[in-house]
Amino acid sequence: MSKSWLPGVLDTTQAGGWALAHFRQGFLADSNGVLFPRDWLKRQDLPAFEEHGLGHFDGDAIYLLDFAQAPELPGCTLQGLRQFMMQSDADTFRLLGYAAQIATWADNYRFCGSCGTRTQRSLIDRSATCPNCEVAHYPRLSPSMIVLVTRGDEILLARSPRYVPGMYSTLAGFVEAGESVENCVAREVREEVGVEIKNIQYLGSQGWPFPHSLMLGFHAEYASGEIVMQEEEIEDAQWFKLDNLPPLPFHRSIARYLIEVYLARRSGQPEPVLPG
């Protein structure tokens, strides 16, 4: 059954609730999951932490304990956000993605970037205000695009040197300042593989396990050009027949969703639902 996640600013002076233990994009987990009784967790002999009230998950108050050093507890392991994306339910991943973003924002805006004064946290909204400049700093969001380029019964996939061996995926990149997302899609495809596209269609979005990232997913049709790879970004790029695809990204990723939507459309099957 789907759980309800509602972000909000909670008073950290209040007792009770559940807590996440976070360190550098990783969360502490045991056999029961990632949520620990908050008061109990704060009594453990753990390194110094900063606390944030995140909101409510399935009606329960949720807090974030962000540690300066990796916390260690018997029976617990520190797991990366990408691992939770592949293994946990979509509602839990949304909570963890939000928590990781808040931790990154809090670390980046402890001091004002203009004058260096220590900022003050608002009790009303998610902002850090400089008492000297009176500038409010909110959590940053960096839009990026990911696109599946198709040519009839073929799809264009590429691999980065960072991928696991053999896996191919769709093309992606960050939106530049002053650029529309659609222009970004066309530019990134041109830069990475030298191909021109047409009929760009937005399909959905997904929070990504990378600081500040929101991935906007598209489908586009091939217009012209031959594959010319951007050497510093692309290790290999090919057109693949739909009945002979290479190893693909994991099922709950937006990259896999874009591919499966096109496979469903070509075969007349119901389109999948994007997790999260």
Q: Where in the chain is the domain with CATH 3.90.79.10?
A: 142-267
Tell me the CB-side half-sphere exposure of residue 91, using CA atoms within 13 A: 10
Mean pLDDT value across residues 35-51: 91
CATH number of the 142-267 domain = 3.90.79.10
How much is the pLDDT for 269? 94
Check residues 228 and 124 and name the one with the higher pLDDT.
228
Mean pLDDT value across residues 94-123: 90
Check residues 19 and 163 and name the one with the higher pLDDT.
19
Distance CA 23, CA 20 (A): 10
Q: Where in the chain is the domain with CATH 3.90.79.20?
A: 5-108
Residue 3 has pLDDT above 70, yes or no: no
How much is the pLDDT for 189? 97
Beta bridge partners of 193: none
**SS3 assignment, position 143:** strand
Q: Are 240 and 246 in contact (CB under 8 A)?
A: yes
Mean pLDDT value across residues 27-36: 92
How much is the pLDDT for 2? 52
Mean pLDDT value across residues 140-164: 94
Query: What band does 162 get if pLDDT is binned at 50, 70 and 90?
Result: confident
Residue 88 has pLDDT above 80, yes or no: no
Mean pLDDT value across residues 248-260: 92
Check residues 160 and 2 and name the one with the higher pLDDT.
160
**pTM of the model as a whole:** 0.85
Q: Are 57 and 34 in contact (CB under 8 A)?
A: no
What percent of the chain is predicted at pLDDT more than 90? 69
In one-letter notation, the amino acid at residue 45 is D
Q: Are 141 and 100 in contact (CB under 8 A)?
A: no
How much is the pLDDT for 1? 42
Nearest to 191 by CA among 203, 176, 177: 176
Query: What band does 141 get if pLDDT is binned at 50, 70 and 90?
Result: confident
CATH number of the 5-108 domain = 3.90.79.20
How much is the pLDDT for 210? 73
What percent of the chain is predicted at pLDDT more than 70? 97
